[in-house]
Structure 1
Amino acid sequence: MISVNDFKPGITFQLDGSIFVVLTAQHSKQGRGQANVKAKVKDLRSGTTTIKSFTGGEKVQKAHIETVAMNYLYNDGQNAVLMDEATFEQIEIPLKRLEWELNFLIEGSKVKVRKFEDEILDIEIPLNIEIEVAEAFDAVKGNTTTNPQKKVVLVTGYEVEVPMFIKQGDIIIVSTEEGKYIGKGKK
C-alpha cells in the first residue's frame, strides 16, 4: 500500500480495477481540517486523464509496472509492431491505444513499453523528439507582425506551428507532451 501523501509524478497505483500513473499531485491543508490531495492521473488501460481527490493519509494499492525497452518497427494498419531490444521478440499494440504517440513515432524510434503482470498497458515515448519536416507551407497573410508562425507537416503527418525560417527537410525538436515546436534540431 502507498499513502496518497507520497504521490509525485510517475507513481503508479491501482484503484477500482484500473491502473493509474500520477502526472501531477497537489497537496492542500485548510486550517484544522484534514489535508487533501488532488492528483491528475492517467488511466494506463484506457489512456484517459482525470483529476482524483483523496483525503490526506488515504492509502491505495501500489501497481508494480515493468518497463521494457523496445523499438517501434511499423504500423500494419491495425496494430503498432514493436520489438524487444534484448530478446528480439515482437509484440503488437492496437493503434487506437496509441493515437497520440503515433504523431511522433517513426520507424526505429526507441520507446518504453509499460507492462502490468503480463498485460501491455501503453508505451512511453521521450519527452522531446527530433523529427523531419515533410511539408512547409507559406505564412498566412497578417500573421507576420509579432512572433510570426507557420504550419508545417511532420513525416508522421502531424501538423505543428513553427517559426518562419523552418523549411521542408529541416529537423526540428517537438515536445511529445504538448505537441509543440521547441527548437531546431541537428541534421
Structure 2
Amino acid sequence: MAALLEAINIKRKMYFEFENAPFYCLESEISTPTARGGQTLVRLKMRNLITRAVFDKTFKAQDKFKEPDLELDEASYLYTDGDGSYFLDQASFETLTLNRDMVGDALDFLLEGSILQIHKFNGNPIGLQLPAQVELEVTYTEPGVRGDTASGAVTKPAKLETGIEIKVPFFIKQGEKIKVSTETHEFAGRA
C-alpha cells in the first residue's frame, strides 16, 4: 500500500495524489489559527500533471493524500507529426506517443535524439520533464556591431536550430552553440 502524506507535510516540489490524479506542489502555505479550537489550514498551489492546470486549494492540516504511482523514465525524442510526438523509452525500447497538450512548449528545445525524462502515472505517459538547460546552435543572428552597447542594447534576437527565437548577448555569433534555460526560455551561457 502506498504511503499516506498529511497535507501539513506537503512541501514545494513534492508530488501527491488528489482525486485520483497526480499533482505537483508549486507552493505551500500553512496558516495557524489564532483562536482556541481553530483548525490549522494548508493552502497549496498545485499543478495537475495530466491536465497541466494550476490552482490553489485549501486543506485541513490532517487531510491525507496518497503518494502517486509516478515513474520518471529516460526516453529519447524521435519526431513529431500531426498525431503527436514520439519518444523511445530507453529501458523497454517501446515507442511512446504524447499529444500536443502533454508536450507543451518542450518542442522549442527538442532535437532528434535528445534524452529527457517521461512522466508516467500508473504506467501511462502523461508528460515530460526537460533538463534545466539545453545546448542549441544559433542558426541566425545579426552580427554585433561595436558601439551597440552605447544605446543600452546589450542583447539581440537570435534564431536557434529548433526554430525558437530568444535574446542573446551581442557578442554571440551565428553558428555558435549556446545554453538555453528550458524554464525561462532565456540565454544561460555559451556551451
Q: TM-score range, shorter-chain basis?
A: 0.7 to 0.9
Matched residue SS, 2:156:
strand
Matched residue SS, 2:107:
helix
* Cα drift, residue 8 of structure 1: 2.4
Aligned equivalent of 1:165, options 162, 171, 182: 171
Matched residue SS, 1:99:
helix
Matched residue SS, 2:175:
coil
- Work out whether 1:179 is the aligned partner of 2:185: yes
Give runs of aligned pairs for residues 33-182 of structure 1, distance below 5 A: 33-137=38-142, 145-146=151-152, 148-182=154-188
**Whole-Å separation in 2 of the counterparts to 1:90 and 1:100:** 21
Partner letter of residue 92 of structure 1?
T
* Cα drift, residue 106 of structure 1: 0.9
Matched residue SS, 1:68:
strand
Match of 1:18 in 2: 21
Matched residue SS, 2:151:
coil
**Whole-Å separation in 1 of the counterparts to 2:19 and 2:94:** 32
* Cα drift, residue 4 of structure 1: 1.6
> Is this contact kept in 2: 1:138–1:150, CA < 8 A?
no
TM-score by length of 1: 0.85
* Cα drift, residue 147 of structure 1: 6.0
**Whole-Å separation in 2 of the counterparts to 1:174 and 1:14:** 32
> Which piece of structure 1 moves more, 173-182 or 13-22?
13-22
- Would the alpha carbon gap of residues 26 and 109 (structure 1) be closer, same or farther in structure 2, given more than 3 Å must change? farther
* Cα drift, residue 101 of structure 1: 1.1
Post-superposition Cα deviations, 1:86-109, rounded to whole Å, max 9, x if no partner, equal 222111111232121111111111
> Is this contact kept in 2: 1:174–1:180, CA < 8 A?
yes
Structure 2: runs of 5 or more not aligned: none
Partner letter of residue 67 of structure 1?
L
Matched residue SS, 1:100:
helix
> Which piece of structure 1 moves more, 2-11 or 175-184?
2-11
How many positions carry a matched residue from both structures?
A: 184
Partner letter of residue 17 of structure 2?
Q
RMSD: 2.4
Give percent identity, aligned residues only.
29
